[in-house]
Structure 1
Amino acid sequence: MELLKSLSAAEKKKIRKAVEGELERYRIYKTTALVRREVQSTPSYEPRYHGPTNKRSDQTARAAIFNVEEERKREGFCNLIDQAVGSLPEKERFLIEQRYIGKDSEYISDCKLYSFIFDPPISEPTYSKIRNRAIIKLALSLGIIDFNGEVSIT
C-alpha cells in the first residue's frame, strides 16, 4: 500500500488517534441508549426577570426535533462504521472488531490479541502491519484522509 509508505510517523499517529476516537464513539453509541429529552410541564417558582416578551419558545418541538435528529445521527454513524469495517479483509476486520469495537475491547491489549486471540498467534510486527493497513483503510472510508494522503484532521 503506497499511501501507508508515504505518510510520516507523526501523520500515522494522528490518523490512528482520529480513527480510534471514531471507533470509541461507535462503541459508546452501540452500548448506551439515547437519553430522550422531555418537556418540563410543571411551572417553575423561581423569579423570572423578563426581557423581550416578543419571543416565543416551543419546547415540545425542540425536544422532538432533538430526539429524532440525534437518533438519526447515531444510526447513520453506526451504519457508516459497520460498512467500513465490513469491507475490510478478514484478518483486518477481526483485529478491528476484537481490539476496538467489541464489548470487551477496553480490556484487551494488543499483546493479548496477537498472542492469544489470533488463531494461530501472530508476531508483533505482523500485528502492527495488519493494524496499520486496517487503520489507513478505515481512515479513507471515514474521510479522515483522502487518496492523495492529505490529512483532513487538525
Structure 2
Amino acid sequence: MTQITFELPELDRKRTQAAVEAALEKYRIFKSTLIEEREAQTIASWSDAPKGFTGTTSDQTSNIAIYNVDEPAARKAYCERIERAVSKLPRRERLLITERYLNTDCDFDYVVFNHVFDPPIGETTYYRLKWKAFYKIALNLNIQVVKEVKGSRNIEGNKKS
C-alpha cells in the first residue's frame, strides 16, 4: 500500500496576515454599518433626447430592487463565512480572534493578552497563537498567500519561441 501524504503550504507571513486582517476588518465594518436602501426616483425629469438615445436600456426600479435584496444577502453570507471559519478554531485562538478582531471595542493586541486571557499570557505566546489562528483562517477562507520558493524557474519562461 502507498501512503498518501499531505504537505501544509508555507505561507508568506506578512501578506497572509494582511489578507486575513483585511477580511476581518471587512467583517467588522459589515457588522457595524447599516445598508441604506435605495429608492426609485419619483420625480420625472425632462429631457429633449429621445428615450434609448444612448443605446442602452435600464430599468431603475428593478436595479434598485436587485441591489436592496442582493447587497444584504451578500453581506450576511460573508459574515457567516467568517464566523464559520472562526468557530472551527481551538478555544484560545477563537477567543483571541473574537476579542481582537470581531468585537468592535478592542483595537489593541496588548489589551487582549493582558486583560482578556485568564491568566494573562505573554506577548510572545500571544503572537504565536495569533499566527496559528491566522494560518487556519487563511486556509479556511482560501485567502492564503503561499511563499514563493527562491531559485525556482518558470518553465513557461524557459521555452524558446
TM-score (normalizing by structure 1) = 0.81
Match of 1:63 in 2: 64
Map 1:17-96 onto structure 2 (within 5 A): 17-44=18-45, 49=49, 52=53, 55-96=56-97
Work out the percentage of aligned pairs sharing the same amino acid.
Answer: 41
Long gaps (5+) in structure 1: none
Letter in 2 for 1:143: N
Q: How far off is 1:124 after superposition?
A: 0.8
Deviations 1:98-150 (CA, angstroms, capped at 9, x unpaired): 111102023xx11121112211000111001100000010000111128xx46
Q: Distance in 2 between matches of 1:111 and 1:86?
A: 23
The 1:48–1:35 alpha-carbon spacing in structure 2 relative to 1, beyond 3 Å, is farther
2:144 aligned counterpart, secondary structure: coil
Letter in 2 for 1:78: C
Letter in 1 for 2:66: I
Equivalent pair of 2:19/2:144 in contact (CA under 8 Å): no
Long gaps (5+) in structure 2: 1-6, 149-161
Match of 1:144 in 2: 143
Q: How far off is 1:53 after superposition?
A: 6.3
Q: Distance in 2 between matches of 1:121 and 1:130?
A: 13
Match of 1:130 in 2: 129
How much is the aligned-residue C-alpha RMSD, in angstroms?
2.3
Letter in 1 for 2:29: I
Structure showing the higher helix proportion among its residues = 1
Q: Which runs of 4+ in 1 moved over 6 A?
A: none
